[in-house]
Amino acid sequence: MEISTLLVECILIAVVLYTAYGVIYRLYLSPIAHFPGRKLAALTFWYEFYFDVIRRGSYVWEIRDMHETYGPIVRINPYELHVADSDFIDQLYPTVAKNVEKWSWSAGMFGSTDMTFGTVGHTLHRRRRGAFSNFFSKASVRRLQPVIQSRIDVLCERLSEKMDTGEPVNMVHAYSALTQDVITEYCFSNCRNVLGMQDFSPWYYELVQKPSELSHMIKQFPNMLPVLNLLPNWWVRATSPLFAQLRAQQLEYVSQVHSILSHNDETGSESHPTVFHSLRDDDDLPLSEKSLPRLVMEAQSLVGAGTLTSTHMLSMTTYHVLINPPILSRLMAEFEEAVPDPATLCSLEDLERLPYLGAVINEGLRISYGSVHRLQRVHPDNALNYKDWIIPPGTPIGMSSLHMHNDPAIFPEPRRFDPSRWMGPEKELRQRHLFNFGRGTRQCVGMNLAQAEIHMALATIFRQFGTKMQLYDTVRDRDVDVKHDFFVTNPSLDSRGVRVTLHSNNPKT
Ligand code: HEM
């Protein structure tokens, strides 16, 4: 036998033995081999790949089906468990400073682990988050009210221009412009002014939304992004205008952060404090944390997180209120009593005291989910107990708002948009099952800002245009309901958006 043939045979035998060992290990020897679930999912990541990459962010629904078959705890890939039981939230997402990490494989889906959102280790995460969390405290957000209100006023002016023209306005783009303007102003004191652009620049919405569509692919193939980044600009421009635009935008972030770091942009300190001027001046942050590449990633992630989630919540809530005339009438009645003159503004504190607005917002949060993606955590130091199960230390475990927000025992008829479920004595219990902002030490840091934007935008827009807005060719199944999990929730890829027309004499009121 020739040496080369012998070598090929040896390699083949080694591959077969290695694969056989892998199969036996994953199915029978792994520390989580005894947890229930589909064998194929336990055996290979290709199962998850099929649902999340080929069938575009749909593994979360397959996981829901697994729970129906196997119960509240299932194994969903070779390493990871998933729990569908809200009673487990406090154990999985502790609020006290306990060593809790993200799962590095999954954190890679954000394209980098340099930003707070994607940081794996507990201590590093505390340091990064601590450096800017003050900006998003309730008190800081209260001080930001004039900035938020001024952008909402611009949005209302733009909506007025469309009155009686019959021209539809895409509220997804409108809200995306609003939230992007607010977060870019707060981060850099350099508002992007998307609200001033033609049709609220759908392009700017796509620039934050499209990267999320790639997140599953990036998770499965972590080297994909560095390879794509090597492609020459001329080739990218010729083949993908969107990718070319993303690159251009990345350069904008680089120049934005660079001018702050090099003290060439001091506008922030003059008008209002901004996140990035403050990070630069934070003497407790080591220089490595203030490097240009890291802060560029932080900037991108803050703008993305501050835009998409609030946009989806606001557009879905707008749809559900407009499609339900009794809900609209009750909301309008509350506004008319609280704010007799639509031109007079109400403070955020006063808006937060309006019970029906609060109920509409809670129901809007419930039905829009926040992120339906499982929020994995790893407890490296201790085992967790779920019912009779002992989950070994270091096991990634996730939970998803999809299951919690649709639990008929807590939210009867979960598909129905019903703010009244938040008006009764069960409100407190239901609140504990609301998982939009996650929970624990990694809970959404922008939660107070999001709540302020949502209260102020819904109040101002509905007080002025509630009875003048009419839905335009908006179909719940096609345009509104969540159909894809790209970490952020996404309606069907065929969605035309939540669109409205504005009429000074609305025949429907
Ligand atoms: C309705 C609006 C929003 C929803 C539903 C939402 C949802 C979430 C969720 C579920 C997480 C936790 C992710 C995890 O556990 O892995 C999160 C984290 C985060 N969110 Fe939000 N978010 C919203 C608005 C905002 C806004 C306006 C900002 C602006 C700054 C923001 C910035 C962040 C950041 C920086 C994190 C990472 C926090 C950390 O890891 O410590 N979010 N968000």
Report the alpha-carbon distance of residue 366 to residue 402 in Å, rounded: 9
- Could you read off the pLDDT of 84-96 as tens digits, one per residue? 999 999 999 999 8
Q: Burial code of 164-179, b = ≥16 C-beta within 10 A, e = fewer?
A: eeeebbbbbbbbbbbb
Which pLDDT score is estimated for 323? 98
- Could you read off the pLDDT of 185-206 as tens digits, one per residue? 999 988 999 999 999 999 999 9
Atom of ligand 1 nearest to the CA of 449: 27
Which class for 144: exposed (0-12), middle (13-18), buried (19 or more C-beta within 10 A)? buried
Residue 397 CA to ligand 1 centre (angstroms): 19
Radius of gyration for the alpha carbons in the chain, expressed in angstroms and rounded: 24
484 - beta bridge partners?
Answer: 490
Read off the pLDDT band of 271 (50, 70, 90).
Answer: low
Contact 75, 42 (CB under 8 A): yes
Report the alpha-carbon distance of residue 95 to residue 59 in Å, rounded: 28
Residue 166 CA to ligand 1 centre (angstroms): 36
Which pLDDT score is estimated for 177? 98
Report the alpha-carbon distance of residue 78 to residue 81 in Å, rounded: 9
- Could you read off the pLDDT of 419-447 as tens digits, one per residue? 999 999 999 999 999 999 999 999 999 99
C-alpha distances in angstroms, 459 versus 88, 146, 309, 331? 35, 15, 19, 9
Provide residues with CB under 6 Å of ligand 1: 116-117, 129, 183, 302, 305-306, 309-310, 313, 370-371, 375, 436-438, 442, 444-446, 449-450
Of all protein residues, whose CA lies closest to atom 30 belonging to ligand 1?
A: 446
Report the alpha-carbon distance of residue 371 to residue 151 in Å, rounded: 26
Atom of ligand 1 nearest to the CA of 93: 15
Contact 358, 352 (CB under 8 A): yes
Residue 320 CA to ligand 1 centre (angstroms): 23
Report the alpha-carbon distance of residue 58 to residue 485 in Å, rounded: 6
Which pLDDT score is estimated for 502? 97
Quickly list DSSP for 333-368: HHHHHH-SSTTS---HHHHHT-HHHHHHHHHHHHHH
Report the alpha-carbon distance of residue 381 to residue 388 in Å, rounded: 20
Report the alpha-carbon distance of residue 480 to residue 482 in Å, rounded: 7
Residue 436 CA to ligand 1 centre (angstroms): 9
Report the alpha-carbon distance of residue 393 to residue 31 in Å, rounded: 10
Which pLDDT score is estimated for 98? 87
Contacts of 418 (CB under 8 A, 6+ apart): 363
Report the alpha-carbon distance of residue 88 to residue 397 in Å, rounded: 11
Of all protein residues, whose CA lies closest to atom 31 belonging to ligand 1?
A: 446
Residue 51 CA to ligand 1 centre (angstroms): 25
Atom of ligand 1 nearest to the CA of 102: 16
- Could you read off the pLDDT of 138-153 as tens digits, one per residue? 999 999 999 999 999 9
Domains and CATH numbers, the chain: 96-383+401-502 (1.10.630.10)
**Mutation test of ligand 1: which of 123, 208, 444 has the most ligand atoms closer than 8 Å to its C-beta?**
444
Report the alpha-carbon distance of residue 400 to residue 403 in Å, rounded: 6
Read off the pLDDT band of 129 (50, 70, 90).
Answer: very high
* Average model confidence (pLDDT) across the chain: 94
Of all protein residues, whose CA lies closest to atom 1 belonging to ligand 1?
A: 310
Q: Burial code of 43-62, b = ≥16 C-beta within 10 A, e = fewer?
A: ebbebbbebbbeebbbbbbb
Which pLDDT score is estimated for 266? 66
Report the alpha-carbon distance of residue 28 to residue 15 in Å, rounded: 20
pTM of the model: 0.94
Confirm or deny that 187 is annotated as ligand binding: no
Residue 101 CA to ligand 1 centre (angstroms): 16
Residue 233 CA to ligand 1 centre (angstroms): 32
Tell me 79's DSSP state. Answer: S
Q: Burial code of 470-503, b = ≥16 C-beta within 10 A, e = fewer?
A: bbbebeeeebbbbbbbbbbbbbbeebbbbbbbbb
- Could you read off the pLDDT of 211-270 as tens digits, one per residue? 999 999 999 999 888 888 899 999 988 988 888 888 988 999 999 999 999 988 766 555
Atom of ligand 1 nearest to the CA of 368: 5
Of all protein residues, whose CA lies closest to atom 7 belonging to ligand 1?
A: 437
**Mutation test of ligand 1: which of 95, 309, 490 has the most ligand atoms closer than 8 Å to its C-beta?**
309
Residue 371 CA to ligand 1 centre (angstroms): 9
